[in-house]
Amino acid sequence: MRQVIYDTHTLIRGLIDPNEPYVGLLRLPEGWKLCLSDLILREALQVLLGTSRLSIVLDRLRQIPLAEAYQRASTGEVYPVPPDIEIEICTDPEDNKFLASALALDCDFLVTEVPELLDLERNKEWQEFKRTNSVRVEVLDPASFSRLVAEARP
């Protein structure tokens, strides 16, 4: 099972943007699972409820076959991030929760557009941390992740 988590911005764009690379983010291939942390879900709901985009999101969700989305993308569970996981990598402390969520949920991929998180994949210290701590998460931008998912589909 391959596990993926999206930052809040990417999750919301996946719900409302019918264009690439966001259109397929909620339609993952067989054997892939969308993970949600309580931190990211809470933030996404606050953003959606505080904007006029809620009706757009609801319309988009009606277009997705719910049985398929449920079966192929997620178990429908939201996982708590333990409070003892503290990461201080990003200059914006609010962005650290995305990496903390990916690590706590043992995800294969964190899909984000946060430059500091994307830069981690070129950071030697991060690569060493991953190797010595058996961390498998790979940080990808939505376009790269979309290409990876397309290659994984039969």
* pLDDT tens-digit readout, 38-73: 888 888 877 777 766 666 666 665 655 444 444 434
Pairing of strands 109-111, 2-6: parallel
For 67, the token pair is 């049985």
Q: Which of 18, 19, 9, 26 is nearest to 66 (CA)?
A: 26
Compute the C-alpha angle 141/70/117, nearest 5°. 20
* 2-152 CATH choice from 3.30.70.580, 3.40.50.300, 3.40.50.1010, 3.40.1010.20: 3.40.50.1010
pLDDT per residue rounded down to tens, the chain (154 residues):
899 999 998 988 887 777 888 877 877 888 898 888 888 888 887 777 776 666 666 666 565 544 444 443 444 566 767 666 677 777 888 888 899 899 888 999 999 999 999 999 998 888 888 899 899 999 999 999 999 998 988 7
What letter represents residue 115's amino acid?
P
The share of the chain scoring above pLDDT 90, in percent, equals: 25
Q: Where are the domains of the chain?
A: 2-152
Alpha helices of 50-112 — where are they, by DSSP H? 54-63, 66-73, 96-104
CA dist 67 and 46 (Å) reads 26
**102: which residues sit within 8 A by CB, 6+ positions away?**
5, 109, 110, 137, 139
Q: What is the pTM of this model?
A: 0.81
| Rounded (10°) angle between helices 54-63 and 8-16 | 60
